[in-house]
Amino acid sequence: MPEIIYVSSAFKHGATKKDIVRAFETFIYEDMLENFDNKHLLLGFNTSGNLIEVMYNRISDVAIKVFHVMPCRKAFRKIVE
């Protein structure tokens, strides 16, 4: 797992560091978002088992910066249904 740098906006919707780490451990989808340079989407489960969306930038070969986390929206949920 990469080193995770957390931006304060990642916690805007109530996610915790443990939720984010769990999402990376349990992810079911991960890819770069179309039409964006270095903006990645990961869908995984938080510590309560709920599907969440995590957006991040890769800042090096071993580190990422997470800037957005929230319950998974329908638009992204469709990707894994």
Give the residue-averaged pLDDT of 3-22.
98
Q: Tell me the domain boundaries of the chain.
A: 3-80
- Look up the CATH superfamily of 3-80: Ribonuclease toxin, BrnT, of type II toxin-antitoxin system (3.10.450.530)
Task: Find the mean pLDDT for residues 1-14.
Answer: 96
Q: ∠ CA 5-20-33 to the nearest 5 degrees?
A: 80
Model pLDDT, residue 1: 83
Q: State pLDDT tens for residues 39-78.
A: 999 999 999 999 999 999 999 999 999 999 999 999 999 9
The C-alpha atoms of residue 32 and residue 54 are separated, in whole angstroms, by 12
